[in-house]
Amino acid sequence: MKRALSMGLAAIMIAISVSGCGGGGKTTSPESQAVTENSQGAGESQTEGNQAEEAADSNMAEELKVAVIGEPATLDVHMTSAFITQEIGYHILEGLYTIDADYNTVPMLAQDTTVSDDNTHYTIKLRQGVKFHNGKEMTSEDVEASLKRWVEKTSYGAILGKILDKIEVTDSYTVELYLTEPSVVVTTLLAFPNQQGGIYPKESIDAAGEKGIPEEYIIGTGPYKFSEHKPDQYVKLEKFEEYCAREEEPSGHGGRKTANFQQLTFVPVSEDAVRKDGVSTGEYHFGEQISTDMYDLVEMDPNSEPVVIKPWWWPMMVLNKKEGVFADVKARQALLACLDMEECMKAAFGNELFYRIDCSAMFQEQPLYSEGGKEMYNQHDIEKAKALLAETDYNGEPVVWYTTKDYPYMYKIAVVASQQMKDAGFNVDVQVVDWATITQVRNDPSAYNIFSGATTFTPDPGVLPHLDGTWPGWWENEEKDQMIVELNAEADPEKRQKIWDEFQEKWMWGDVPFIKMGDYFLLSTRSKNLKNFDEGPFTFFWNCYLEK
Amino acid sequence: MVHLKKMFLKRKSALIGLILVTAIVSAALGAGLLTRFTPDEMNVANRLLAPSSQHLMGTDEFGRDLFSRVLYGARNSLTVAFFIVVAAVGMGLIFGLIAGYYTKADSIIMRIMDGLMAFPGIVLAIAMMGAMGPSMANVIVALGIVYTPRVARVVRSFILTVRESQYIEAARSMGAMDIRILFCHILPNCFSPIVVQASFIFSYAILGEAALSFLGVGVPATLPSWGNILSEGRVYMQIAPWLTVFPGLSIMVTVLGLNMLGDGLRDFLDPRMKK
């Protein structure tokens, strides 16, 4: 009798926890339908997914050590676009939406989304029963507080902020966004992993100071929770036992997330050779971003495997348009004219497997790929550069370029490009600092003329953060802003392509706010026994496991 | 001069040291004549080429000629080291003279020197460079301060032994001012230990500059120096070992030569060693 009673209680508890975690009811959003269709259509992949989970269960490891490229300046994902912060943040925080393996927007904390016919009113139903790491249930109050801060602090948020009329909370699980003008990229903005619209509990938002949210308040709903940060030594995350996973099959950042490690440790290792050797010797299980010159060595190594991600990012020079020599568009055009992209990219990436000379802001593999402004890219015309520079007020004052060896390609591009600039008459002063310093310095218009940067894989040109006038470099121009508004309001793919072609030619290459150097593909290295690892451009460590 | 010649003939290691140092300095000064390439001349198509008749030491990741970079790097490294010696000897001499001659100043100056020496030199230099930022002038200041106590201690201890000498007493009784006694009577007698110290500090300075540049806090990364070349080359140690071997050898040969020369000078200038 006792046994029957306890079994009954257990069954009731399981039922409660499942219904609470799942949010109850079927999702009706088109995005989640797409995911379901994808996963059902790929019956084999579902079987593979189940096999992977079974294998993971039998190979549960205590710790996964990841050698990252440097020290995160903060763990608050709203405060910086720095890749290291974002990557750690993927595991701690979740947004309302995210992207799947095919870069489609899919819901994460959102359950269902309704959009008005004129694309100005979004009603977002939240999943119910989702718990934060502090044990509190996520409600619309937390979402409202987080979104308001995200809009205020991040460049993706600022893009939404420009057209956001108000955020309203209808009930504990419903949030409504009212826009001042139509937009088709709202969920894309909220989904994109870089500068993610991560949802914190309201208490964390209230505790935020000038330097961001204190580390003890870095709380999210993700499969791992923040445990410990020893600067320059490690950031440790612990498995969140009460994590409420979605039910859909895993796909990219979307779907079901399973934490297969008790602990995730991110170790800052500034030297890529050390990251590579560390994986080879078993010190780390994953070494991110190593020199592409090491491809053959990794391939020959019996303990590690190369991880090639194509497409990945594109490196760029961001010009300070608020102060200094590059406030003058002629000087920016002079700089563009003198550059030999092939030389820069070859020096930076060596192996031709890892770079591509291409002027398009969107990769060839994406929609809205464009050749607009092709003739202005990769000119290497020193005489033209000299002539354009002569038309400016430039008198040989130092052109300060902040770059970093934390991302070796940025430094190498700076070395080669600065030589080409010198040939054209620029007096270049290359300052090599750590990445955290660049993320601070780039906000001070009096401190620099150029900083090295890179653009992550972006799902839509309408959400490219550096097109916004508030982003460092300060591209303030109402005409181009209007064109972006048009692009983001246009739902017809053909019309969008036309608008973007024109924008890329006239503004991206004509006004030269930043200079794309080319496409590049990433080489990382992983331990051979790290299985079910997703090689997408936003590295994460849920669902993967270590084979014993 | 004849004595010096005899010393070099008698002490073969000092002669080898002199030859090595002279060769390195000459190569640095004549870099423009010895190589066809400038140190910043890039040819990305020729990146990471192994040593050949075209590129004696191979090429780096930007296709720059490594032989040229090592020679021009020697200029920067030797120039920085030379001025570190000038700074350390200059400051050490002044502090040593004052501390050795004036008893009251001695306790204050030497406690400061002890304080500086309490830190490992390279750690202190890194801290200073972190605060001041990477530049050649800052390397000279930082390492100059780090090596000053070495000179000050040697000078002070020497002055302590000579300040009570009869010829100093005689000068004082004739009414000579302290400054005259210090610079005209005591300083010339300190020459030998200072020269010996300077030769050792030169070799320490080369190592110190290379270490700071290797760590990214020394000579700006865009200028060639042995430390910078080593730092950039270490990433390619497995696929292009020449990028680390040649600058490493240059540092080793120079420091070895300076130490051998310093040992010889010390033996030659120390009267006790002559016996």
Sorting pLDDT into bands at 50, 70 and 90, what band is A31?
Answer: very low
Q: Give the span between the Cα atoms of A404 and A401, in whole angstroms.
A: 10
Using the predicted structure, report yes or no on whether residue A527 has a pLDDT greater than 90. yes
Q: Report the pLDDT value the prediction gives residue A83, as an integer from 0 to 100.
A: 83
| A257 pLDDT higher than 60 | yes
Chain B residues in contact with A272 by the CB 8 A cut-off are 235
- Name residue A63's beta-bridge partners: A263
Answer with the residue of higher pLDDT: B152 or B3: B152
Q: Does B91 reach chain A within 8 Å, measured CB to CB?
A: no
> Following DSSP, what letter does each residue of A243-272 receive, concatenated?
----SSPPBTTBS-----EEEEEEEE---H
Overall average pLDDT of the B207-236 stretch: 88
Q: How would residue B266 be classed by pLDDT, with cut points 50, 70 and 90?
A: confident
For the ranges A291-305, B1-15, B136-150, B250-264, the lowest mean pLDDT is seen at: B1-15
Q: Which of B255, B207, B193 is nearest to B80 (CA)?
A: B207
What are the extents of the domains in chain A? 63-263, 310-521
- pLDDT for position A42: 37
Cα separation, A327 vs A397, in Å, equals 14
Candidates A339, A400, A405, partner chain B, best to mutate (most B CBs within 10 A)? A405
Residue A164 has pLDDT above 90, yes or no: yes
CA atoms within a 13 Å half-sphere pointing along the CA-CB vector of A159: 31
Scored b (16 or more CB within 10 A) or e, A501-535 reads bebbbebbbbbbbbbbbbbbbbbbbbbebbbbbbe
**Does B42 touch chain A if contact means CB atoms closer than 8 Å?**
yes
Q: Hey, which of A186-195, A380-389, B43-52 has the most confident mean pLDDT?
A: A380-389
Q: Tell me, what's the pLDDT at A20?
A: 44
C-beta atoms surrounding B137 within 10 Å: 10
Per the omega criterion (within 30 degrees of 0), is the bond before A513 cis? no
Any alpha helices (H) in A425-475, and if so which ranges?
Answer: 435-441
Least confident interval from A127-141, A256-270, A332-346, A479-493? A479-493
Whether B120 shows a pLDDT value over 50: the answer reads yes
Nearest-CA distance from A347 to chain B in Å?
5
Is the Cβ of B82 closer than 8 Å to some Cβ of chain A? no
User: What phi and psi values does residue A193 have, to the nearest 5 degrees?
Assistant: -65, -30
Question: Which residue, chain included where needed, has tokens 């947004």?
Answer: A95
Asked if the C-beta of B131 comes within 8 angstroms of chain A's C-beta atoms, the answer is no
- Cβ contact, residue pair A350, B48, below 8 Å: yes
pLDDT in tens, A87-107: 999 999 999 999 888 888 899
Half-sphere exposure of B7 toward its Cβ, with a 13 Å CA cutoff?
21
A200-234 pLDDT, tens digit each? 999 999 999 988 999 999 999 999 999 999 999 99
Instruction: Answer whether A405 sits within 8 Å of B221, measured CB to CB.
Output: yes
Share of chain A above pLDDT 90, in %: 68
Tell me which architecture the domain covering A63-263 has in CATH: Alpha-Beta Complex (3.90)
> Is it the case that residue A8 has pLDDT exceeding 70?
no
For residue range A319-343, list pLDDT tens digits in order. Answer: 999 999 999 999 999 999 999 999 9
Subunit contact A419:B42, Cβ cutoff 8 A: yes
Q: How confident is the model at residue A354 (pLDDT cuts 50, 70, 90)?
A: very high
pLDDT at A485 over 50: yes
At position A137, the amino acid (one-letter code) is: E
- pLDDT reported for residue B186: 87
The rounded distance, in Å, linking the Cα atoms of B118 and B112 is 10
| Predicted local confidence at residue B273, as pLDDT | 57
**Residue in B closest to A420 by C-alpha:** B42
Residues 6+ apart with CB under 8 A from B269: B192, B193, B195, B196
> Is the pLDDT at A548 greater than 80, yes or no?
no
pLDDT attached to residue A1: 43
**What percent of chain B has pLDDT above 90?**
53
Tens digits of residue pLDDT in A138-157: 999 999 999 999 999 987 89
Give B1's pLDDT tier (boundaries 50, 70, 90): low
Q: State residue B271's pLDDT score.
A: 62
The mean per-residue pLDDT over the stretch B129-143 comes to 90
Q: Which of A73-82, A173-182, A451-460 is modeled with the greatest confidence? A: A173-182
Q: What is the mean pLDDT of chain B?
A: 89
Question: Does the beta carbon of B215 lie under 8 angstroms from any beta carbon of chain A?
Answer: no
pLDDT tens-digit readout, A431-446: 988 888 899 999 999 9
* Chain A positions in Cβ-Cβ contact with residue B45 (cut-off 8 Å): 346
Q: Does A41 have pLDDT greater than 90?
A: no
pLDDT tier, A310 (very low <50, low <70, confident <90, very high otherwise): confident
Q: Answer yes or no: do B237 and A273 touch at CB < 8 A.
A: yes
Does residue A14 register a pLDDT over 70?
A: no
Q: Which CATH superfamily is domain A310-521 in?
A: Dipeptide-binding Protein; Domain 3 (3.10.105.10)
**What's the pLDDT score for residue B135?**
87
Question: Shortest Cα distance from B149 to chain A (angstroms)?
Answer: 31
> Can you give the pLDDT at residue A54?
62
Retrieve residue A357's tokens.
Answer: 């000379």
Q: How many whole angstroms from its chain centre is CA A273?
A: 24
- Taking 50 as the threshold, does the pLDDT of residue A28 lie above it? no
How many whole angstroms separate alpha carbon A221 and alpha carbon A393? Answer: 54
Amino acid, res. B43:
N
Mean pLDDT of chain A: 88
Residue of B nearest to A423 (CA): B41
What is the structure's pLDDT at A27? 34
- Which of B85, B81, B47, B80 has the alpha carbon at shortest distance from B64? B47
User: Residue A403: beta bridge partners?
Assistant: A432
A380 touches chain B (CB under 8 A): no
Q: Distance (Å) from the C-alpha of residue B235 to the closest C-alpha of chain A?
A: 6
Nearest CB partner across the interface for A415, out of B45, B62, B234: B62
Residue A22 predicted with pLDDT over 60: no
Q: Is the pLDDT of residue B147 over 70?
A: yes
